[in-house]
Amino acid sequence: MKAQASKSRAKRSPGRKPTQSAPLTQMLVLDALRTWVIPTLAVVAGLVIFVVYNIGVIDEAPAVTVVGGLALITVLFTGVHGFLGDHLSGRMIGVLALFTVLFGVSAFYPFYRTLNPGTPVFSTDLKRGATATLPLHDKPGHYSVIFEGHFLPVEGKQNRTAAYSIALGHEGVTDRVFTGAFNQEWRSQRIGAGRRSSIVPSLHQTTEVRDVIEDPDGRDLTMALTDLSQGVRDSVSVRLYSETVPQWMFVALGILTLAAALLVDSWRPKGASEGLMGTLTAATLMSVVIFGRSTVATPGFPQLIIAALVGTLLGAIAGSLLWRLTFPLKKFLPAMD
């Protein structure tokens, strides 16, 4: 009898189904992708880029571009990842895709252009007392201008500042006066750690200053260097960049992006991160605007951090107000499914 029972168990054992571990593994992987994997990879990559920049392997502009882009991806993911586990309708997929495109154009593109303005439409060395003509006839718009000073060589380590004054006008009339300063400052910087560390002098300088020129009528403008301190070359380099997309279009894109964000939020389950996407979008757009308004020719990590902090504070307030004002409209929207 025992032999027969053993044979019976032996015959039944091959018929047992193996443990279904593949679906469980797949669920864990998908859950990780929906929660912590993408933000963690973005943070790690950003730290790596920052370290590589600090040791001098890459310049600040591309480093800030990559880190800022990773931050924008993380913000976008934070706002939409709550929908990734649901069975989305075609309508909802279309809204999320539209929002992603609007977010990229209205947030990342102006951020990228601030760091990479492209080829100047006009450049010259503006000499003291001389006048240069900006050929903007029939080219109305908003322009960025960068002034660059050139310090003369000097013996020793001296802190120096050179002020400038440049008159902008048309047909002999002065419309505006640009004033600013270039500076060089020597600071002490510790290199290494512990007993092997040493303090070495380090030069920090600002030889480029950015400003804006508005020419709504498309007129040729004149620019004259009226004053320049001693210690620099007797000229200031001027580079003029045009905007590729009009400002009014960016304003319209920003409004559309906010509207799409509020629409996404309106389809969230009640009590589930209400108003999250609108708040994140408002904070991001404000941060990009603040970053782009920096007077530094090429904004770096300090300007990026300040813009992010101020934009987050203002965006949190604006996003909360927008959600409270638009929440009553939720009942008029079509269902997600």
- Amino acid, res. 283: A
- For the cut 80, the answer to whether the pLDDT of residue 18 exceeds it is no
CA distance 85 to 33: 10
- Per-residue pLDDT, averaged over 313-334, amounts to 78
Using one digit for the tens of pLDDT, what is the confidence trace for 117-155? 889 999 999 998 888 999 998 888 889 999 999 998 888
Rounded to the nearest integer, the mean pLDDT of the chain is 82
Of the pLDDT bands very low, low, confident and very high (cuts 50, 70, 90), residue 272 is low
With beta carbons less than 8 A apart as the criterion, state whether 205 and 261 touch.
Answer: no
Of the pLDDT bands very low, low, confident and very high (cuts 50, 70, 90), residue 34 is low
- Per-residue pLDDT, averaged over 151-172, amounts to 89
Of the pLDDT bands very low, low, confident and very high (cuts 50, 70, 90), residue 78 is confident
- Per-residue pLDDT, averaged over 198-221, amounts to 85
- Per-residue pLDDT, averaged over 3-27, amounts to 52
Q: What is the pTM of this model?
A: 0.76
Using one digit for the tens of pLDDT, what is the confidence trace for 239-249? 999 887 788 88
- For the cut 70, the answer to whether the pLDDT of residue 54 exceeds it is yes
Give the per-residue pLDDT at 158.
85
- For the cut 80, the answer to whether the pLDDT of residue 230 exceeds it is yes
Give the per-residue pLDDT at 311.
93
